[in-house]
Chain A
Amino acid sequence: MHNLTHFLSCREVTRLVSQMQDTPVPLLQRIKLRLHLALCDGCTRFERQMRFLRAAMRTYRE
């Protein structure tokens, strides 16, 4: 169970960002994610790259 003082690590962020592409994720997790991204350039890039990857696969299909 997560409490409010548990900040997400980058590793946890990568798992969460991936999971959000497949299944809905609770609001609290999404808020913690946004907070982390606001403070972390690496993970911000990662999230953008994951969105790009999905877009690339969509184009691959076409």
Chain B
Amino acid sequence: MPATDISGQLAQHRGYLLRVARLQLRDEALAEDVVQETLTAALAGSGFSGKSRLKTWLTGILKHKIVDAIRRKQREPAAVASFGGLDAELDVEDFDALFNSKGEWDAPPADWGDPEEALNRREFFDVMDLCLERLPPNTARAFMMREVMELDCDEICAELSITANNLWVILYRARMALRQCLEQNWFAAGGARLA
């Protein structure tokens, strides 16, 4: 395949790679760097056999670059707040307020009808992006590692230096927050509202 074809194809995925990197790193310049490193490595490397989809392969390279970047940031003496650790995010809203004193729903989840239809709409993923951006940084990071990068819990715990229990709490909060955000801004709003 001619080199120009490959770089054209890689460029197509740049937007997606940037979105994923931004959500995890919360640092625009760093995200740009990491994506650039990813595309450079992809162009230089011969690892792509064509069997897996190009996007999946690129995401694999991106995953390692993101993890490296997070590790480097954590070692910096004046770590940016969003890399500083989880304690603040663990203390924040734990969604107990959604339940009454008996542990029952105060306002139960709404009926989303046939939610899978939303997966065919680009506007839905715009809303999803905005909901992901609203997550606190370490929560977003852990959630993306789990659901997009598909790391298992042991791997995520090692990367973020947290216990399994911490991780389950964070993932719970991420899911509760996203569910609420999607309900408010898509499913209960009869389609797009935020977008």
Contacts and interface: CB of A to CB of B under 8 A. Distances in A.
Interface of A: 9-12, 14-15, 18-19, 21-23, 41-43, 45-46, 48-50, 52-62
A61 B16 CA distance: 9
Interface centre among A23, A54, A56 (most CB of B within 10 A): A56
Interface stretch (B28-36, B67-75, B173-181): B173-181
Given A60-B125, A60-B148, 12 more contacts: A11-B96, A19-B172, A21-B171, A22-B167, A23-B153, A23-B168, A46-B109, A48-B112, A56-B119, A59-B125, A61-B55, A62-B55
A14 B19 CA distance: 29
Contacts of A58: 147
Nearest to B53: A62
A18 B153 CA distance: 13
A55 B128 CA distance: 13
Contacts of A9: 99, 102-104
28 contacts: A9-B103, A9-B104, A10-B105, A11-B98, A15-B172, A18-B171, A22-B167, A23-B168, A42-B105, A42-B109, A45-B112, A46-B108, A48-B112, A49-B115, A49-B183, A50-B179, A52-B116, A53-B178, A54-B147, A56-B124, A57-B147, A57-B148, A58-B147, A59-B119, A60-B125, A61-B55, A61-B56, A61-B59
Majority-rule SS of A interface residues: helix
Contacts, number: 87
A22 B105 CA distance: 23
Contacts of A10: 99, 103-105, 108
Contacts of B102: 9
Nearest to A13: B103
Interface string B136-162: 000000000011100001000000000
B164 interface: yes
A14 B176 contact: yes
B135 to A, nearest CB: 13
Contact of A12 (B95, B103, B115, B182): B103
